[in-house]
Structure 1
C-alpha cells in the first residue's frame, strides 16, 4: 500500500490527520467527549463538538493523570490540559472502511487513581503488524471519576469507558476496524474495568470479547463510598455535595483523596490489611444503576455469558512490596503473620500446605503471595467458576524477572504487547527478556482477538485448566489445576 504523507480519516465530528510510522498509522489525542471541566467536571461525558477542516491527531491528548510519580513500573506520562477524555488509534489500514480488521480496545491501569493511555508500552505497533486495529482510551480518575457526590451522576469514570466504547462502535470502521469484532482488554485497574464492563448490563453489545490481565476489581460498597466522600469533604472544608466539591481545585482533591483513604496505622502490614478488609478506596461503585450488584454476582447470574473471556495474573503481584520489608518480617513466624492478617487457623494450615515452596522463601514471600492470592488470583477462580459453561480461558504468568526474582505486577504487560524494546522495560524485565515468551503471550492475544481462541483448553470444559506462561522447565505449559494453591481462600 502506498503511504501518503498525511493519513486523513473522516469520523463523526470531523476529519482527523494522523502520522505514518512504518507499516501503520497513529491517530492520537482524538476527543471522544468534551473536556470535563467547569459545569461538566462532575457530569456524565458529553459528545465532542463537531469541527471544521482537518484536526491534527499527532500528539497525545491531556491525561487525567496530573502528576508524573516518577519511577513507576510502567512509564505512563502525565500530559497537562483540560481535554482529558480522548482516544488513541493505531491502525495498519486507515481510511479503508472495507478492511474489517479485528479491534483491540485497551484500558490502562493505575489503581483507578493514576495511569495514562499515552504509555509507550501501549503503542499498538505489534498488534498492527498482526492485523489488529488498536485503541487506547482515557477516563477520569480518583474522586473526580469514581467518588460519591450528592447531586452528580455516579461512576463517572465508568460512564467514560462506555462513551469511549460507543465512540469506537461509531467510528472504528473509518480506521479499518470492524465494530462487530471488538475485544476489550486491560491490566490491573484496567483489568478490573474489563470485568466490570463484562458484568454490566449497560455495556452489553459494545464489545464481543474480553481479556483481563491481573484484574483489580473495586466494587466499592455505597456505604464506604459515602463515608470516604464525607471524610474528603471534611478535609477540604466544604459541604459533601456537588457545589462543595466543585469549589475545590482538582489538584487539591487529588492530594486530599490520598489522605482520606490512607490507613491510620503505621504498621508495615497496614496497607495490605486495608486492601484485604476494604478493597480499593476509589473505583467503580455498586450504585444500583450502572452496577446493580457486585460484578461476580452479576457474572454468576449470566451477564456477559455470551462473551468469550481470558483472564489471569502474574504469580507474585504483590511480593516485590513485601520483599522491601523482608528484614523486618524475617523474625515474624509466617503463621503468626497470616493470623495478624485474619486468616483463620484451619484455612491458614491448608494455605501454607498448598504453598510450601513459597514458605521456604520466607515470611515476606508468603505474605506477598497471600496478598496476591487474596486480591488478584482468587478472583480468577471465582470469575471462571461463576461463568459456568461460558467460554472462559485462564492463564498464569510465571516467569520470574532477573531484576528481583519475582513474577511481579506489570511484568507481563510488555510481553503481552510484544514491546520488549520499549523504554524502561529493562527496569522490570532485565536486559534480555525472553522474546520467545513475548511471542507466545502476544501470539495468544492476537489469536484470541482474531478468532476468539487463545490456543489452550477452556476452564469451562475442565475447571482448573490453566495455561502457564514462562514457568519452570519441568512444568507443563497447560496445568490441570493451575490455581490449586489458592483453593483454601476460595
Structure 2
C-alpha cells in the first residue's frame, strides 16, 4: 500500500501489476438534497487516512444496451456519484496525465466501467484519471425557464467535468502526475464534452491537449429545445415546479426519463423530422446557454477559446451501424431520400452523391454512411478546421472491421475503445471485437494515444509519419491492422451537404 496527501486529506491506494490505483476519490460534494440540479460544490475534507480501494457509485441511469451486449456486471448507481479514479506507475516523479471522460449519450456509462481500466496507461508511464459525472436530467436538464434560480442547470454535467479537471490540477502532482501536461480525452458523449470544453472559457488552462473520439460540438442543444424538453419532463413527472422535482425519489426521475425517451423512439421518422437532427434521440445533452457553453461553440474555438491546445480528432468509418441495430425499419431508396431530406432539405442530391460513391451498395448502407458523415466525420473536420490556427491538429479514421455479429458492426461507434485501452482481449469484449482481435492494432492505437499525451505527436510504433491536419491538406491516419496515411477529403458528398 502507498499513501498520498491531497487537498482533502490522506488517501491509501492499492498495488497493481504496474503501479498503484486509487479508486472512488470524491472530487465534489454529493449532489443530493438541495444540491440536486445545482453546480458541483466543494468536497469535504477528512481526518486520518481514507482507503481508496473501491469505486464509488455511478450516476443514476436506466439499464443500458451495452451492458446486455457485453454481459458486464451492473455497477451500483446513486446520486452521490461524483468520484474519480487514478492509476499511476509511481507516486514519485512528474508524468503525463490523461483524464478520461466516458460516453453513453449523456444518459448511461461510468468512469469505473471495466472497459476503461487504466492499467495499460500506467504500464506505459501515464497517470490515468477516469471520472463520473451527472447524467440525464440530473446533469443536463435546463430548468431556468421553470425557475430562474436554476438557470444553467442544463450544463451541470459539464461543470462536474470541469470540477474534476480542477481537482486534477490541484492534486495530481502527489500521484506522480504533471499538472502542466494534462490530456483530456473522451468518446461519444465524452468526445462531445471535450469538444465543448475546448469552447468554454471555464475550462481554459485546465488541459494542454485533447483527444476527441467520435463526437463534436454539434451535440449541444439549443436553449429553446432544452426548455421544451424541461417542460415535457415536468409534465410527465406530475410535479408543478422544481421543488416538486426535488421531492421525488431518484428512481421516479429515472422512470420519467424512460417515458420521455420512449415517446421520442415511438416514431423514428417523426422524431427526426421534428428535430431536423438524429440527435433528438439524445434529449439530455449540453446546452448552448451563452454562459458555460457559447451560443456558437465552433465559432468560439475558431476565435481562440483554446489557445495552444493540441488536438487529435477522429471518427470510425461505420459509426452509424451501432445505432442502426435499434432501427428495424426497412430502408429502400425512397426511405433513404426521405430521411436525408429531413436532416438536410437536400435529400435527392445527397442520395445521388452517396450512390455515386457507394455503387450497388444497399440503401441501408448508404444511409449509414450519410449519418456517419452527418454526426461524426463532418463535425470532426469542422473541429479540426476551427482549432488548426491555435494548436497542432491531428486526425484519424478508425476503419478496422469487426467480425462480430456476422460482420454487422464493422467499424461501428465505440469499436476503437478496446484498442485505445489495450483491452481487446478482455473477457466479455469479444462480443464486440471477436475472439482474435489484432494485438498489433491495439499496440498502434494505444501507443499513439500515449505518444500524443507524452510528446504532443501521435506517432505510431514502427509506422508511417503522422502528418498534421491543415486547412489545405486533410491529412489523417487510417487505423487498421496496417495503419496508413490518407487524405480524408470527401468533396462530392460535402458539396451536397453544404448545398
Give the TM-score taking structure 1 as reference length: 0.91
State the distance in 2 between where 1:87 and 1:43 align: 19
Match of 1:203 in 2: 203
C-alpha contact (below 8 Å) 1:15/1:54 kept by paired residues: yes
State the distance in 1 between where 2:133 and 2:369 align: 30
Match of 1:234 in 2: 235
Identify if the C-alpha distance between structure 1 residues 327 and 345 changes in structure 2 by more than 3 Å, giving closer, same or farther.
Answer: closer
Match of 1:298 in 2: 300
Match of 1:112 in 2: 106
C-alpha contact (below 8 Å) 1:320/1:368 kept by paired residues: no
State the distance in 2 between where 1:204 and 1:415 align: 29
When structure 1 is superposed on structure 2, of 444-453 and 460-469 the one drifting more is: 460-469
In the TM superposition, what is the alpha-carbon distance from 1:286 to its structure 2 partner? 1.1
State the distance in 1 between where 2:190 and 2:331 align: 32
Identify if the C-alpha distance between structure 1 residues 21 and 482 changes in structure 2 by more than 3 Å, giving closer, same or farther.
Answer: farther
State the distance in 2 between where 1:295 and 1:307 align: 16
C-alpha contact (below 8 Å) 2:86/2:130 kept by paired residues: yes
1:480 paired with 2:481, answer: no
In the TM superposition, what is the alpha-carbon distance from 1:293 to its structure 2 partner? 1.9
Identify if the C-alpha distance between structure 1 residues 420 and 52 changes in structure 2 by more than 3 Å, giving closer, same or farther.
Answer: same
1:396 paired with 2:392, answer: no
Match of 2:433 in 1: 429
1:68-217 paired onto structure 2 within 5 Å: 68-69=63-64, 70-72=67-69, 75=72, 77-94=74-91, 96=92, 99-149=93-143, 150=147, 151-154=149-152, 155-215=155-215, 217=217
State the distance in 1 between where 2:79 and 2:387 align: 40
Identify if the C-alpha distance between structure 1 residues 7 and 272 changes in structure 2 by more than 3 Å, giving closer, same or farther.
Answer: farther
State the distance in 1 between where 2:334 and 2:341 align: 11
1:420-469 CA deviation, whole Å, 9 max, x = no partner?
A: 12232101100010111111111110110001111311112643111100
State the distance in 1 between where 2:334 and 2:225 align: 32
Identify which of 46, 59, 70 aligns with 1:64. 59
1:8 paired with 2:9, answer: no
1:450-469 paired onto structure 2 within 5 Å: 450-455=454-459, 456-460=466-470, 462-469=472-479
Identify if the C-alpha distance between structure 1 residues 484 and 103 changes in structure 2 by more than 3 Å, giving closer, same or farther.
Answer: farther
* Structure with greater helix percent: 2
State the distance in 1 between where 2:343 and 2:21 align: 47
Identify if the C-alpha distance between structure 1 residues 271 and 447 changes in structure 2 by more than 3 Å, giving closer, same or farther.
Answer: farther
C-alpha contact (below 8 Å) 1:27/1:57 kept by paired residues: yes
In the TM superposition, what is the alpha-carbon distance from 1:169 to its structure 2 partner? 0.4
1:263-305 CA deviation, whole Å, 9 max, x = no partner?
A: 5574454565557266431111111211132321211222114
In the TM superposition, what is the alpha-carbon distance from 1:148 to its structure 2 partner? 1.1
Q: What secondary structure sits across from 1:71 in the alignment?
A: helix
Match of 1:40 in 2: 35
Match of 1:276 in 2: 277
In the TM superposition, what is the alpha-carbon distance from 1:352 to its structure 2 partner? 1.5
C-alpha contact (below 8 Å) 2:102/2:190 kept by paired residues: yes
C-alpha contact (below 8 Å) 1:76/1:116 kept by paired residues: no
Identify if the C-alpha distance between structure 1 residues 110 and 268 changes in structure 2 by more than 3 Å, giving closer, same or farther.
Answer: same
Q: What secondary structure sits across from 1:458 in the alignment?
A: coil
State the distance in 1 between where 2:104 and 2:245 align: 23
When the two structures are aligned, how many residues end up with a matched partner? 476
Match of 1:412 in 2: 416
Match of 2:463 in 1: none
Q: What secondary structure sits across from 1:18 in the alignment?
A: strand
When structure 1 is superposed on structure 2, of 479-488 and 196-205 the one drifting more is: 479-488
When structure 1 is superposed on structure 2, of 372-381 and 150-159 the one drifting more is: 150-159
Match of 1:3 in 2: none
Q: What secondary structure sits across from 2:330 in the alignment?
A: helix
State the distance in 2 between where 1:46 and 1:17 align: 24
C-alpha contact (below 8 Å) 1:42/1:153 kept by paired residues: no
Give the TM-score taking structure 2 as reference length: 0.89
In the TM superposition, what is the alpha-carbon distance from 1:65 to its structure 2 partner? 3.6
In the TM superposition, what is the alpha-carbon distance from 1:255 to its structure 2 partner? 2.0
Match of 1:446 in 2: 450
C-alpha contact (below 8 Å) 2:340/2:351 kept by paired residues: no
1:373 paired with 2:373, answer: yes
Runs of at least 5 residues in structure 1 that lack an aligned partner in the other structure: 1-5
Runs of at least 5 residues in structure 2 that lack an aligned partner in the other structure: 460-465
Identify if the C-alpha distance between structure 1 residues 141 and 266 changes in structure 2 by more than 3 Å, giving closer, same or farther.
Answer: closer
When structure 1 is superposed on structure 2, of 111-120 and 382-391 the one drifting more is: 382-391
Match of 2:462 in 1: none
Identify if the C-alpha distance between structure 1 residues 325 and 438 changes in structure 2 by more than 3 Å, giving closer, same or farther.
Answer: same
C-alpha contact (below 8 Å) 1:465/1:479 kept by paired residues: yes
In the TM superposition, what is the alpha-carbon distance from 1:331 to its structure 2 partner? 7.6
C-alpha contact (below 8 Å) 1:276/1:374 kept by paired residues: no
Q: What secondary structure sits across from 1:355 in the alignment?
A: helix
Runs of 4 or more consecutive aligned structure 1 residues displaced over 6 Å after TM superposition: none
Q: What secondary structure sits across from 1:210 in the alignment?
A: strand
Match of 1:22 in 2: 17
State the distance in 2 between where 1:353 and 1:90 align: 48
C-alpha contact (below 8 Å) 2:216/2:383 kept by paired residues: no
